[in-house]
Amino acid sequence: MAELAVLSASVKAIVHGPLDKVISLVNKEFSLIYGFKKDLEKLRGSLVMIQAFLRDAERRPVGEEAVKLWLQKLEGVAYDADDVLDEMNYKILQHKVKLQKKVESKEAYEFGHQFHIRDVDAYSAAGAVFSHSIARSRETDSVSVDPNVLGRDNDKSDLVKTLMRSRDEVVSVIPIVGMGGLGKTTLARLIYNDERIKNYFDARIWVCVSENFDVTKLFAMMLESLTQSHVEVQGREAIVKNLQKAIGVGRYLLILDDVWNDKADKWGDFKRSMEGINTTKGNSIVVTTRSEQVASIVATLPQHFLRKLSEEDCLSILKARAFPGGEAPRELDTIGKKIAAKCQGLPLAANLVGGILRNKGKSEWMLILNEGLSQVNGDENGSSILQILKLSFDHLPTPAAKKCFAYWSIFNKDFNLKKEQVVQLWMAEGFLYSNQGSDVMEKTGIKIFHLLLQNC
């Protein structure tokens, strides 16, 4: 236990250094020039989150090997971040004179990219611990059932009409834009499964794109979605030919969920092939994205900006989550409204808070409102949802569940693990220790796995 506290303190010290550096770098005009102010801000977010976790680990020291391991991993992450930042500072000095004159944009681009800020593990570790559910780690599918989707009737009917009317181009592209947790994927799924859409399009394809926009891989995923069988590793030409066969000559609807690629040339490359694969007019692509920049690159039709839900809708989501299958007591109405207001129109926030309050009484609702949510104020950067995610992490019922969640989140976003594999790993790490044998451990693990999914 003492060792754990020492380790936690040492990670804390390590995090402090890079955090200061990030802050100073963010403030430097330099980062603006090279366009990675946003990246640095994200990194700062990750480091702040690591700090929050360390505070949590200190508050509830669980003297187990597993926590130590987790802290060690965070330590490694913090060091990685520190190295990158040191290198950046050094390079800034080195280039200062040059920068004051004029730097050609190509050089600037290469300069900015040699640091691979995006690759710093702090992203996938601490960042993903929170962004996990609002974000990129969860692979989506087209069939998942969204119970009680509220307040999206108009969005759905507008989009369905637009998709069925666009026959001027071979491929029309309509982006659904909005911040994480607003319900873009849910809306896309409503459209995809709408009966009119099913009748109108001869083929429907769902691809969860996430951060990795690799054109050949996208074609392979489309082919897999259409044929529902595994696509062997092949060159682009072979995959595209097979895709052409699978799509046929009828109209298709392609949903590209969660697109982050903001490189116009990559998108152009993808779209040109799509236009050649099937030359029938009236094909459509729906792109969901958080980024207006991405949306403006891909759009051929007006963008669909998703609005926040009303407070009443948030309250309904909250109640449905908190009292599954039952009625919420009337005495929670007033306080429920105040909590719903804190969800700021984000269905994900309402879901998370509702999960925390599952089957809880008035005193717990008061506590969450007055303490847990007191810092949550309106902003457009998604930081309030991070606070709500942290809150829901804090409220995971057992230390084992917390450790499992944290450990799971350490995996890179693109790392696909099956439920059984995750549980095996948790067992190997000793999170699920039980003296009743591995069967019991496995069952507990599976319960925790489902619990975590519920809480995300």
Which among 30-38, 114-122, 144-152, 331-339 is the span making contact with ligand ADP, rule CB under 6 A? 144-152
Q: Which is nearer to ligand ADP, 351 or 444 (CB)?
A: 351
Shortest approach of Mg ion to residue 343 CB, angstroms? 17
Q: Which residues in 350-369 contact ligand ADP (CB under 6 A)?
A: 351
Shortest approach of ligand ADP to residue 288 CB, angstroms? 6
CA–CA separation, 96 and 24 (whole Å): 16
Which among 258-266, 269-277, 330-338, 414-422 is the span making contact with Mg ion, rule CB under 5 A? 258-266
Which listed residue (12, 42, 132, 184) binds ligand ADP by CB under 6 A?
184
CA–CA separation, 4 and 57 (whole Å): 9
Which listed residue (186, 216, 280, 291) binds ligand ADP by CB under 6 A?
186
Q: Which is nearer to Mg ion, 258 or 311 (CB)?
A: 258
Q: Which is nearer to Mg ion, 176 or 404 (CB)?
A: 176
CA–CA separation, 335 and 182 (whole Å): 23
Q: Which is nearer to Mg ion, 125 or 256 (CB)?
A: 256
Q: Which is nearer to ligand ADP, 70 or 213 (CB)?
A: 213
Which listed residue (183, 345, 355, 372) binds ligand ADP by CB under 6 A?
183
Q: Which is nearer to ligand ADP, 175 or 181 (CB)?
A: 181
Which among 7-15, 62-70, 80-88, 178-186 is the span making contact with ligand ADP, rule CB under 6 A? 178-186
Angle CA(197)–CA(199)–CA(202) in degrees, nearest 5? 90
Q: Which is nearer to Mg ion, 155 or 258 (CB)?
A: 258
CA–CA separation, 122 and 410 (whole Å): 9
Tokens matching residue 394 = 């804090």
Which listed residue (152, 321, 342, 402) binds ligand ADP by CB under 6 A?
152
CB 47 within 8 A of CB 122: yes
Which listed residue (41, 56, 80, 146) binds ligand ADP by CB under 6 A?
146
Q: Does 286 bind ligand ADP (CB under 6 A)?
A: no
Q: How many residues bind Mg ion (CB under 5 A)?
A: 2
Q: Which is nearer to Mg ion, 146 or 194 (CB)?
A: 146
CA–CA separation, 143 and 377 (whole Å): 34
Which listed residue (347, 354, 355, 445) binds ligand ADP by CB under 6 A?
347
Q: Which residues in 149-208 contact Mg ion (CB under 5 A)?
A: 185
Shortest approach of ligand ADP to residue 184 CB, angstroms? 4
Question: What does the binding site for ligand ADP look like in residue numbers (CB under 6 A)?
Answer: 134, 146, 148-152, 178, 180-186, 309, 317, 347-348, 351
Applying CB under 5 A, which residues contact Mg ion?
Answer: 185, 258
